[in-house]
Amino acid sequence: MRAVITGGAGFLGSHLCDYLIERGWDVLCLDNLLTGAESNVSPLLSHPRFRMARQDVTRFIDVPGPVDYVLHFASPASPVDYLKLPIQTLKVGALGTHNTLGLALAKTAKYLLASTSECYGDPAVSPQAETYWGNVNPIGPRGVYDEAKRFAEALTTAYHRAHGVDTRIVRIFNTYGPRMRLNDGRALPNFVYQALTGEAITVYGDGRQTRSFCYVSDLIEGIYRLMESGEHAPVNIGNPQEITILEFAERVRALVGSDVPIVFKPLPQDDPKQRCPDISKARRILNWEPKVNLEDGLRLTVEFFRKQVAARSG
Ligand code: NAD
Ligand code: UDP
């Protein structure tokens, strides 16, 4: 089996490359390194079944030879990244999705779109099931990401209906783990970095907004089960253990063993007040649920960031 993974040098994409290589697949990673890093896949570069090509997937994609699966993960994903890169984010969600679907159609390959819980926007219902249509401000700052992904879901579904492409859509909820970028601006890298370096932890707003954090190995296992399933409609993959951001900051601080203060900063516009996946569908059709609890996942992630910080200061 041969997979093309766009965004394969990013946080999630690189874990997916590892996972498929371990299972005997051939993997071609396409990435323009906009928010990823070659170091994420450096252990794979000498592997005979792995290849990395620098490619902007918003431009025509030419892949010689057969392809069995196209997995479209390319897109800035951290709010700080996509606020800095609004046009690139819209283009990779729109043109990048079109090109990768075209590749899947030409190769008669299966296709999986990495979508997001941001399709639900600032949700009016909780937990969010796949049947909820969302509450998105299309012209707000987060709209560049949310609407790109909503368009990507619509286009993926259209290719399935009009061209019969064998598609999957995963709605990924907040995921964390090793290989997140220390400076990507997301809550977890910020909090860990701040606690490790003695800076005050910055909680935005009053910290009562909630998120639900899934450890990366659980997410990748859920995605693999979805790849193997015959489900074409979106499926939520995430950890339903919901926590306020203030409590999350306190947990990270305690785990790092730090006593830095927590300071409150303005809440970014349209920041979702609550986010928690309803994973009944994944439980039912994929027989999947997360296994790694927050304590264990955070421990592994803090260990990774500790080494990164030490390497920087050394
Ligand atoms: P990331 O920024 O680490 O990885 C994204 C990768 O895509 C990077 O390597 C980047 O260089 C690449 N990329 C961006 N634009 C590209 C382009 N035009 N051509 C080729 N490569 C390009 O982010 P991530 O957290 O690994 O997210 C991966 C995917 O999962 C994204 O599609 C994101 O929307 C989705 N997702 C992630 C999360 C999460 O919690 N991490 C949650 C929901 C959805
Ligand atoms: N957040 C925070 N302090 C930070 C970074 C983020 O309080 O230094 C908050 C952010 O406002 C949001 C939550 O943490 O409410 C999760 O943010 P993140 O950027 O990780 O991802 P999001 O779930 O918003 O896409």
One-letter amino acid of 296: D
For ligand 2, whether the C-beta of 186 sits within 6 Å is yes
The answer to whether residues 3 and 19 touch, using CB atoms and an 8 Å cutoff, is: no
Q: Is 222 in the pocket of ligand 2 (CB under 6 A)?
A: no
Residue-wise pLDDT for 230-241, tens only, equals 999 999 999 999
Task: Indicate if ligand 2 lies below 6 Å from the C-beta of 190.
Answer: yes
Active site residues per annotation? 145
Q: Tokens 């927590």 sit at which residue?
A: 262
Instruction: Specify the ligand 2 atom closest to the Cα of 174.
Output: 23
Q: Is the CB of 26 under 6 A from ligand 1?
A: no
- Estimate the crossing angle of helix 86-107 against helix 143-163, to 10 degrees: 10
- Residue 143 CA from chain centroid, whole number: 17
Measure the CA–CA gap between 128 and 175, rounded to whole angstroms.
16
Mean pLDDT of the chain: 97
Nearest atom, ligand 1, residue 57 CA: 19
- pLDDT for the residue numbered 187: 97
Mean pLDDT of the 274-284 span: 98
Q: Give 305's pLDDT tier (boundaries 50, 70, 90).
A: very high
Q: Name the pLDDT band for 314 (thresholds 50, 70, 90).
A: confident
Q: What residue has token string 């283009």?
A: 91
Distance 97 CA to ligand 1 centre (A): 13
What is the per-residue burial (b if ≥16 Cβ within 10 Å, else e) of 98-124? bbbbbbbbebebbbbbbbbbbbbbbbe
**250: buried, middle or exposed (CB in 10 Å: 19+, 13-18, 0-12)?**
middle
Task: Determine the residue of 202, 211, 270, 276 to mutate for testing ligand 2's pocket, defined as the one with the most ligand atoms within 8 A of the Cβ atom.
Answer: 211
Pairing of strands 167-172, 235-237: parallel
Q: Please state whether the predicted TM-score (pTM) of the whole model is above 0.85.
A: yes
Q: What is the pLDDT of residue 312?
A: 85
Find the mean pLDDT for residues 27-46. 97
With a pLDDT cut of 70, the percent of the chain lying above it is 100
Q: Kindly list the distances between the CA atom of residue 301 and the CA atoms of 55, 120, 159, 186, 203, in Å, as whole numbers in the listed order.
A: 29, 27, 38, 14, 19
Q: 115 is written with which tokens?
A: 């979508």
pLDDT at residue 24 is higher than 90: yes
Q: Which of 93, 99, 25 is nearest to 62 (CA)?
A: 99
How confident is the model over 159-215, as pLDDT tens digits?
Answer: 999 999 999 999 999 999 999 999 999 999 999 999 999 999 999 999 999 999 999
- Tens digits of per-residue pLDDT, 89-133? 999 999 999 999 999 999 999 999 999 999 999 999 999 999 999
Can you give the pLDDT at residue 313? 80
pLDDT over 90 percentage in the chain: 98
Q: Is the CB of 270 inside a 6 Å radius of any atom of ligand 2?
A: no
pLDDT of residue 27: 98
Question: What number of other Cβ atoms are within 10 A of residue 39's Cβ?
Answer: 11
**Which listed ligand is nearest to 92 at the C-alpha?**
1
| Tokens (6 digits) for 216 | 């990366």
Distance CA 151, CA 93 (A): 7
